[in-house]
């Protein structure tokens, strides 16, 4: 076990990024994943423990222009209670509703939920159907360098992302959904709260003239990473939501969802739940 040799709590982003430049810092925000993971030995602390909570302007929700930006420090509770998001992207608020428990929602940040890169991460499918990208920042050659990565390219495996050790996730951005956008989120687990999803499904699309366009479907807990369900999307794109389309989309889930058996559920049950949720969500959208 490696000892934590220093604890840092900078107020400025550049200070934090400089501390991370050697790749030997553990980032602490809400700590709701970090604490149990280090406690159980799943994960080791690096030499520096870097508390990013005090960094100015790293939190907050900006939803005034064409882009919506959610700062990395924004808690799940803040997303859940944000009136602008409730109007613009209710699917995100719906996902926040189903996230863990009140105490964890108050501490956990959206940045942490993304960087933890759990296949079951609750905010991820909702952000995927909004077409979100993440902002990554690092200190290089004496300056803060930033890049954007589409969220669907961010995850590479359970707990693994393309983020480099010296990079900090500073926020998540997405285009303000167009008029006629509808979104849905559905999650399942044996308990109504404090539950790691057995399966989650998010849906987002524009509905105009009875037809779907810009369809995005995302799934959690059915593969090593949360994923975009391309086959389901293809079955829906440009179609009218009738019984045949819904049946085709449900059938296409088999191409996208490749779940495994584990302690929380069998692969069979997960595949079944995906079909149920996709059908339920589409019928719900059709009904409205």
Q: Identify the residue among 40, 142, 179, 263 touching other proteins (CB under 8 A).
A: 40
Q: How many residues form the binding site for other proteins (CB under 8 A)?
A: 8
Could you give the residue ranges of the DSSP H alpha helices within the chain?
Answer: 13-20, 34-39, 76-80, 83-88, 90-97, 102-107, 110-115, 123-129, 151-154, 230-236, 243-256, 267-287
Q: Identify the residue among 68, 273, 278, 281 touching other proteins (CB under 8 A).
A: 273
Torsion of the alpha carbons at 183, 185, 186 and 187, rounded to the nearest 10:
170
Angle, CA of 173, 174 and 180, to the nearest 5°: 155
276 near other proteins (CB under 8 A): yes
CB 19 within 8 A of CB 5: no
Among 11-19, 90-98, 168-176, 272-280, the segment contacting other proteins (CB under 8 A): 272-280
Nearer to other proteins, 4 or 164 (CB): 4
Nearer to other proteins, 236 or 273 (CB): 273
CB 232 within 8 A of CB 172: no
CB of 70 to other proteins, least distance (A): 31
1 near other proteins (CB under 8 A): yes
Interface mask toward other proteins for 176-205; x: CB under 8 A:
------------x-----------------
Among 54-62, 115-123, 132-140, 273-281, the segment contacting other proteins (CB under 8 A): 273-281
Residue closest to 111 by CA, chosen among 50, 166, 42, 58: 58
CB of 185 to other proteins, least distance (A): 15
CB of 280 to other proteins, least distance (A): 8
**DSSP per-residue string spanning 90-125:** HHHHHHHHTSS-HHHHHH-BHHHHHHTT-TT-THHH
Residues 76-115 touching other proteins, rule: CB under 8 A, are none
Nearer to other proteins, 133 or 188 (CB): 188
249 near other proteins (CB under 8 A): no
Residues 20-39 touching other proteins, rule: CB under 8 A, are 39
CB 278 within 8 A of CB 250: yes
271 near other proteins (CB under 8 A): no
CB of 39 to other proteins, least distance (A): 6
Residue 96 contacts by C-beta under 8 Å, 6 or more apart in sequence?
Answer: 76, 77, 79, 80, 105, 122, 123
Residue 200 has a CB neighbour count (10 Å cut-off) of 29
64 near other proteins (CB under 8 A): no
CB of 244 to other proteins, least distance (A): 20
Residues that bind other proteins (CB under 8 A): 1, 3, 39-40, 188, 273, 276, 280
């Amino acid at each position: 076990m490696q000892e934590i040799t220093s604890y840092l709590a900078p107020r400025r982003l550049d200070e934090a990024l400089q501390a991370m430049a050697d790749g030997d810092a553990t980032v602490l925000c809400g700590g709701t994943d970090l604490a149990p993971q280090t406690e159980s030995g799943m994960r080791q602390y690096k030499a520096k423990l870097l508390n990013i909570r005090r960094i100015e302007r790293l939190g907050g929700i900006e939803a005034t222009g064409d882009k919506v930006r959610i700062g990395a420090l924004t808690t799940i509770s803040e997303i859940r209670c944000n009136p602008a998001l409730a109007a613009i992207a209710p699917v995100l608020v719906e996902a926040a509703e189903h996230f863990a428990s009140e105490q964890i929602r108050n501490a956990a940040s959206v940045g942490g939920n993304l960087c933890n890169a759990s296949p079951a991460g609750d905010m991820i499918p909702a952000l995927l159907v909004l077409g979100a990208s993440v902002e990554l920042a690092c200190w290089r050659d004496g300056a803060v360098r930033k890049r954007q990565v589409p969220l669907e390219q961010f995850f590479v495996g359970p707990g693994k992302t393309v983020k480099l050790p010296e990079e900090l996730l500073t926020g998540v951005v997405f285009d303000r959904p167009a008029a006629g956008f509808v979104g849905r989120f559905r999650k399942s687990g044996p308990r109504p709260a404090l539950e790691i999803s057995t399966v989650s499904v998010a849906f987002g699309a524009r509905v105009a003239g009875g037809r779907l366009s810009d369809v995005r479907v995302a799934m959690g807990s059915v593969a090593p990473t949360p994923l975009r369900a391309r086959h389901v999307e293809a079955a829906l794109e440009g179609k009218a939501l009738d019984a045949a389309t819904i049946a085709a989309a449900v059938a296409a889930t088999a191409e996208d969802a490749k779940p495994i058996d584990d302690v929380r559920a069998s692969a069979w049950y997960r595949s079944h739940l995906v079909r149920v949720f996709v059908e339920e969500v589409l019928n719900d959208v059709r009904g409205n």
